[in-house]
Every structure is written in structure tokens, then in C-alpha cells.
Structure 1
Amino acid sequence: MSKADEIRDIVYINGHVNKKCFITYGIEFKEFYHSLPTPLANILLLKHGFEDSDYHYQTHMDYVEEEQIHLLAEDDVYNYGDFCWIDFEDVSSLDLLEPQDIAALLYLGHLKKPLNSPFNNKLGNQFVYLAHDDGFYNKIYFRDVYDMKHILSRIIPLKMSEIKQKRFVFRRKKLEYPILPLVLANTLLTLTNDGLFIDFEHMVQSRRDIKIPLYTIGDFDDMNEMYNDRFEHKEMSKLQAHLVLTHKELEWSIEEVQ
């Protein structure tokens, strides 16, 4: 099994809510894109391998307009290697960028950290997306940190559907699951401060419900270390719980393991 396949079975989120920054493993750009509460406007590409982008002559940078972002989401983003972008409201705003703005953007894409603020008021960006082997190591800055709450509410049923489809390749109809209530997603958002590990790899389905193990395994910046030693990290977790979806009521809850 390739690493690109392995990462689909777990999600790890190392949250730095005060810095509006989340480091994630197991969430690909395609899943991020489809889980956003509002569509992306345009994307300024800092590091990429997308062949159908447009070129902005003043900044010497590539960009993708809203109508083409779905093509980017369907591309083989994982194999770009580095994939870094910042969204922006209007193409005309790119003309407002001065040399120091361009220098800050190049620094952002090269070192995967902001020179000053990750947010550029001229571009009006809501996100900064900095990935290496997309889905393996993603660092994302949110102007509104509660957008992550909305993403969590959608990414979990989306991931469940994808994994079910992968496990049962002959199933014709794709299963769909309800999104999480925002109150519950907010609880998960809080848990990211302690390194939330969502273990779809050991998701269990019974006649009554579906249970997804949850753990808090601490801060990791090295995703190889986090993934390779995940069983040891789970054993030492302060939280032992399940995210539960009942079949009959289609209700979500979190149950601690006794």
C-alpha cells in the first residue's frame, strides 16, 4: 500500500488555535476544498505542479480562478511534492502587490511559514495552505479559526464515505453520512489543541451504530514519527473515546471508553 493510500485511513490534527494554524495529516486538498463552508474565490499558487493555471505577469506567479479550482482539486496534487497557495478575492488585487508583498509570498511558499502575518490585506485571503506531499503534511492558517469547525463537521462523513467505498469496491451506490452538529465539531476543534487523532483505520460498524476511535496524542510536526509510532501514541493517549453515529436516529455523539 502506498503512502498516498495509507493517509486516507487516519486524520491527525495538531491545532494551534491562538496562532490560527493547524498541522494536519490525512486531509487532502480535494477533501479540504469540498468541506469548506463557502467556496474559494481564487488561488495564488506559490508551489505547485498544476498545468492549467493562469500567469500573472507583474508578479510572475501562477493563479487559478474560481471556475477552474475544481480541476485543481481533481488533479494528482499529492505528486506535486510541495503544494502551497494563498486565496484572494479578485484578480485585480494582484496588481496591487508591491515588491515586499511578493517577497513575503515567496518566503511563505519556500519556508512554509509567514515572514510576518500569514494574511495579506491587499489580497483579503482567508487561508494559507502549505503542504508537502498533500495529505501527508499540511499546514493551514485560517483567518477565521471557526472555518476549521465547519471543515471538521464535513470532513468526517466525507472520509467515512471514501473509506467505505475503498473497502467495498463493488458497491455501486456511494454511502452518504450526515454532517456533524457544529456543537460537536467545536468539541473536536478544542481537542486539536492536544493533537486529535481520528482513527478511521479501526472504524467499527454494528447493527446499532458506527464507532470511530478518538485519541489525543500530543504535538507532532514530523508526520513520519506520528504515523509510524501511532499504536504507541494511542496507548499513551489521555483521551480514549469513540465518535458515534447511530443508524436509526442518524445522531452523532462522543462516548468515552470506560
Structure 2
Amino acid sequence: MSSSLLYLYEDAENHRLTMSGVSFSDFILSIDSKRPLLVSGAAFKSVKQSFRTSFHYVEGHEVEQFAQSIDVERSPLSTIDIRSSHSLDTLTDVEIAELLFLMHMKRGMPSPFLSSVGNEWAYFSEQDSVQATVYLKDWSQIEHALSLLIQRKIRREFRVLSASPLTAEIIINLRHLLHEGVLIDFANVKQSVFTRQITIPVYVAGRYEDMTVLKEDLDTNKESIVKRGELIHRKKAWIFELQ
């Protein structure tokens, strides 16, 4: 799907968020994670290996650099945060099996949050920025993460607007739409030369697991994708007009 589209769908019951238009680096910054990471999915160059389990991991102080690496941008990625890299060397065979299942199947058995490593989230992506599945243990983080993700996207698309934050009211209104599948379309922005007003369409699209299908449905104006409002920047401030 186009990097100029931002799609977010929540399954609050399972603490699961489906995302498109969000890179792994964006995600890490949105939750301010500095813990070590257990990683798999490709032959990443900048990872270490646990002798006891053969799991690959990244230390906490290396996470930001790892998240921005070309390897991550080009490769599938399965990763969870862990309490400590040393905890990998004390895992039982059963706990190793639980981690292998989670990293391979991209779902827990029954939970994606494992007491053995104390992970607070799990992130799975086949292609960076195209589609990702995230599990968050502390679901109250969603509004904060949503705010940072959208504002980071805005800064990337409109560098001159970096000093115009989204209000708490805007984030709350968008948060209420997450269960319907929010789609913010940066590819079809309207800009007024005279007033300098910027208008960004906001849709609800429902649940999608294939982002290619979502893009096709948006392009063909499928009835199930409904315009719900507009993010508007005027007079150096953002507003969200619901329809």
C-alpha cells in the first residue's frame, strides 16, 4: 500500500493493532521502548545470539539503530521486547517452545505476553511500512502511540507543519474510530494556494488483512470505505471535522 496512506485497525479484546504506513522505527518511537529485543525473520547483521536458546537479540541501547537499519526496511520482522538478554539463558524447554510458537505463528498460545521474558509488546511485519501486526499489553498506550504516529506522518508529509501539534480532542475522536479501521489518505490532500489551508480525508474502512486489497477498494470507491471526516490545517492549527 502507498506510504502516503495510514491505516490503523484495533482489536481491543485481543490487544491487537493492524497498521499500514507505519515503519518499525515509527512504532518504536511511538511507545518509547528501550528494552532489549528478541528478533527473527532474516539474517540481520547487527544482532547477538543466545548460546542457550540460539535466539537472536538486540540490546536496549542498540534498538534505535537497529530499527533504522536497511536490513529492517527490506526484511520480514518478528520481534518482542524482553526483560533482559540474560533471561534468554535461563529459559526452560517449554518456555523456549512458547517463544518459538509466538515468533513463528505471530500469535500467542494462548497469550502473546509471556511471563518467561516479561514482554510488553510483540510486533510482526512481512514488509516494513506496508503492514504490521502489534500486540500491546498496556492498551492505555494506544492514544499516546496514535498521537505520535499521526504527527510523525504529518511531519514527514508536510515538513513546514512540524510545529503544529494535534490536540487531545482530535486524538480522542480518531481513537474512537480505530475499531472501524481508520484510513487517513495523505495521497489525496487538498491544498489552497491562497489560504494555505490543508485538508486530509479521513475514512473508516473496516478490517483488512491484505493492504493491496484495501488500496484497490479505496481507488475504486468501494461503498464499504466511508469518508468520516477531514483533518484540516488552517491558521497554524489543526482541527478534525467529523461528517
Give me the TM-score of the superposition, normalised by structure 1.
0.84
The CA distance in 2 between the partners of 1:176 and 1:127, in whole Å, is 29
Moved over 4 A (4+): none
User: Are 2:218 and 1:256 equivalent residues in the alignment?
Assistant: no
- State the Cα distance separating 1:72 from its structure 2 match: 1.1
Identity rate, percent: 27
The CA distance in 1 between the partners of 2:220 and 2:140, in whole Å, is 31
User: Are 2:56 and 1:62 equivalent residues in the alignment?
Assistant: yes
1:107-126 equivalences in 2 (<5 Å) = 107-126=101-120
Instruction: Please give the root-mean-square deviation of Cα atoms over the aligned residues, in Å.
Output: 2.1
The residue that corresponds to 1:168 in the other structure is none
Q: CA distance change for structure 1 residues 182 and 121 in 2, over 3 Å: closer, same or farther?
A: farther
The CA distance in 1 between the partners of 2:19 and 2:186, in whole Å, is 15
1:183-222 equivalences in 2 (<5 Å) = 183-206=169-192, 207=195, 209-222=197-210
Of 106, 123, 133, which aligns to 1:129? 123
The CA distance in 1 between the partners of 2:115 and 2:235, in whole Å, is 46
User: Are 2:63 and 1:75 equivalent residues in the alignment?
Assistant: no
Of 96, 99, 116, which aligns to 2:93? 99
Deviation string for 1:136-176 (max 9, x for gaps)? Answer: 120000001122211211112211222236xxxxxxxx752
Q: CA distance change for structure 1 residues 256 and 183 in 2, over 3 Å: closer, same or farther?
A: closer
Give me the TM-score of the superposition, normalised by structure 2.
0.89
- State the Cα distance separating 1:253 from its structure 2 match: 2.5
3-state SS in 1 of match to 2:225: coil
Q: CA distance change for structure 1 residues 92 and 182 in 2, over 3 Å: closer, same or farther?
A: farther
Letter in 2 for 1:112: K
The residue that corresponds to 2:26 in the other structure is 31
- Runs of 5+ in structure 1 lacking a partner? 1-5, 166-173
The residue that corresponds to 1:10 in the other structure is 5
The residue that corresponds to 1:231 in the other structure is 219
Of 129, 134, 139, which aligns to 1:140? 134
Q: CA distance change for structure 1 residues 48 and 149 in 2, over 3 Å: closer, same or farther?
A: farther
Deviation string for 1:204-236 (max 9, x for gaps)? Answer: 333353322110011111222112222335654
3-state SS in 2 of match to 1:67: helix
